Amino acid sequence: NAGVMQNPRHLVRRRGQEARLRCSPVKGHSHVYWYRQLPEEGLKFMVYLQKENIIDESGMPKERFSAEFPKEGPSILRIQQVVRGDSAAYFCASSPARQAHQPQHFGDGTRLSIL
């Protein structure tokens, strides 16, 4: 069974461009989480989605960032008008129906570099 798939693995953008990061959860998982990791730091929660619903976006910047998890297709994290400070590794994780005591399965991450 395939794990969480993220693409691209590496993404380079110039300041002001848009970045789209994709995440396909483990088959059968309906919960998706996005995290951001700045260099030499731990992962920080951004947003939690279920199919077609944003459940918790308390960790996501209010401007330029958006996330979706449509009924069909992968979850998308979208960053508009990127700035140098957006350079980070972005990880997606998935889990089955709400289970507090199950591990989240992470993808390999997308390394976003802003020139």
User: Nearest 5°: CA angle at 37, between 74 and 99?
Assistant: 55
**Nearer to other proteins (CB atom), residue 64 or residue 111:** 111
Task: Say which residues have a Cβ less than 8 Å from residue 92's Cβ, sequence separation at least 6.
Answer: 4, 6, 21, 23, 25, 32, 33, 34, 35, 75, 77, 106, 107, 109
45 forms part of the interface with other proteins (CB under 8 A): yes
- For residue 106, the minimal CB distance to other proteins (Å) is 4
Binding segment (CB under 8 A) for other proteins, from list 18-26, 64-72, 77-85, 96-104: 96-104
Q: Smaller CB distance to other proteins: residue 65 or 91?
A: 91
Q: What is the dihedral of CA 30, 62, 60, 90, to 10 degrees?
A: 100
The first and second tokens of residue 96, run together, are 């089955």
Q: Scanning residues 55 to 94, which ones bind other proteins (CB under 8 A)?
A: 55-56, 59, 89, 91, 93
Name the site residues for other proteins (rule: CB under 8 A).
Answer: 31, 33, 35, 41-45, 48, 55-56, 59, 89, 91, 93, 95, 98-109, 111
